[in-house]
Structure 1
């Protein structure tokens, strides 16, 4: 497992590098990932707009900032993502602001899912390759301590209830999901991740 994580980290990107990669591919009419299609490029374009907006509007709560800066170990958040993923577009800007607010206690690295099949296979959700997936690595020990994703609990319940009632995912629930993220303002993601980090803190090796 360590070698798989190390390989993904070696090929990973900073947040700024990831944003540039996605933007550069879009200028060529492409998206990240093994599959290329007009719909994936369209979703990537929508995500660019979402991420630009979130970078300007999302704020990290003072309570979460204090807890991030109080962590007594250093960590890497290695995130499996792709540019076309709507959930990733909602979540990555928040992760970036959290890691920035941590004052270098946490480093954010982003790896493309389709370039890291071995790692993705360890973090399936109900048998599927759902993203984004946040893998929490203790920097000092070089080991994985936790994982999170692909969605906060409220969003997961929204999707699960819709699938139960209607049998699948369509454009309506995708719109409803984006509205859920808009109304939540990133609070659920912040709280869930800081809970994970504090749990690691109080259950050290």
Structure 2
């Protein structure tokens, strides 16, 4: 089990957002007609507004499967799930609300949000095919032993991204809209199945 305490100094953990605080940050930047992160543009502002609306809706409507609830409730190890993200990220808007919803029944799991561009050392340690793809979930125990990682999207969505990059016959905006339609149809079930597999792996590791 890899220890990643050096990636999470006190300054990082103390400045991490709770999910409620992160939602308030998103509301704030939308009101100020900007976004989070180093890059600022009208397009990113537009995506941030869309993402806030998506997350507010999903916070009310996401349904956690009974199977994932049972797996979550079997967690007996105190742990923190750090999620790297930025407000403009469409994948984050679809995945973070169900991740948070899944944890609500087990007080041993704490979710903390970290902004990608403010935490380059952590992001560089969790690249996806060399890229700074978000959201990225890193679950650690109380001693900062890495339990599992996930992200930036479910495997089916990741395969869609790989296929698009290999043969970009449509604009990225068209592809992004296609990806969002997939998320809506999937209803976070792919994500929830993948979380169950990861959590069961942690349980097995701690049984033996």
TM range (shorter): over 0.9
Match of 1:93 among 97, 104, 124: 97
CA 40–138 in structure 1, closer or farther in 2 if over 3 Å, else same: same
Cα distance in 1 between the residues matched to 2:194 and 2:51 = 23
Gaps in structure 1 of 5+ consecutive residues: none
Match of 1:110 among 109, 113, 118: 113
Gaps in structure 2 of 5+ consecutive residues: none
Normalising by structure 2, we get a TM-score of 0.93
Q: CA deviation at 1:57?
A: 1.6
The RMSD of aligned alpha carbons is 1.5
Match of 2:163 among 147, 150, 161: 161
Aligned to 2:18: 14
Q: CA deviation at 1:145?
A: 2.0
Q: CA deviation at 1:165?
A: 2.3
In the comparison of the two structures, how many residue pairs are matched?
203
Q: CA deviation at 1:169?
A: 5.8
Match of 1:194 among 193, 196, 203: 196
- Does the alignment pair 1:65 with 2:75? no
Q: Secondary structure at the match of 2:167?
A: helix
Q: Secondary structure at the match of 1:131?
A: coil
- Does the alignment pair 1:4 with 2:3? no
Normalising by structure 1, we get a TM-score of 0.94
